[in-house]
Amino acid sequence: MIVYPTLELHNGKCVSLTRGRLEEPVIWHVDPVETAKGFATAGAEWMHATDINALAGDGDNSDLIEEIIRAAGIPVQLGGGFRAREGVERWIDKGVGRIVIGTMAARDPDLVKELAKFHPDQIVLAVDVFQGSVMTEGWRTRSAFAPDTFVKAFDDAPLAGIIVTDIDADIEDTDGSLGVITSIAGATRHQVLARGTIRGADDISRLKYVPNIAGALVGRALFSKDVDLGEALGLAAAEMEPIAGFK
């Protein structure tokens, strides 16, 4: 399983969103570029970045993200505010390893499938789930799609994976439930990356036993020091212990 240390960028700073609210970011007083370098130094294979300004439609962090891509030393998976083909292709040309698409997939699934065809293994589908529905527009709009049906519509597209965010778990200060992610992972042939469930090292160990989970995004827990990246990478890479069978 791959751990994706995660930067959420807002007005040039590393942040975390409190209960998903774009207007109330928690600011972490670290240098984003140096932090990205630190991910690579710790042994991360990939990192994830989300442009919160682009997601909210009030600007972007393009210059900073380009600097991170050049400096990180590992491939960058980028999400936040992709609404058209031009933005996707521009960032691929700038060297982003993967593009994460959510709202556009709900609005124009055929375009996302086409992008995946032309950029195989570089397009990641984002599925944000709240109370049984897929959410769009940065968690602000409830769609008419059920998660399992939504992911099945993309089974034939050559996606790099599907990021599943359990918003119910992410916004509560409780241990993340694996029920939503387990259900979606069982409904798709694509590898699934979990988001919103990691609060401690034990959560990484638990995720390894969920079929079809290939990775986890870890952001807030790294900055709050509830998770040590080196330890997380070691747990993710370790061989799973055998599970006793039942007779």
Among the listed residues 60, 128, 166, 203, the single catalytic one is 128
Among the listed residues 8, 60, 166, 170, the single catalytic one is 8
Structure pTM?
0.91
In order of their start, the domains of the chain are 2-237 (3.20.20.70)
Is 172 tagged catalytic? no
Is 231 tagged catalytic? no
Alpha-carbon distance of 150 to 144, in angstroms, equals: 10
DSSP conformation class of 8: E
Beta strands in 19-63 (DSSP E): 21-28, 47-51
Alpha-carbon distance of 213 to 192, in angstroms, equals: 5
Per-residue pLDDT 10s for the chain (247 aa) are 999 999 999 999 999 987 666 777 899 999 999 999 999 999 999 999 999 999 888 999 999 999 999 999 999 999 998 999 999 999 999 999 999 999 999 999 999 999 999 999 999 999 988 888 888 777 677 777 889 999 999 999 999 999 998 876 665 544 456 888 899 999 999 999 999 888 899 999 999 999 999 999 999 999 999 999 999 999 999 876 665 454 4
Alpha-carbon distance of 207 to 221, in angstroms, equals: 16
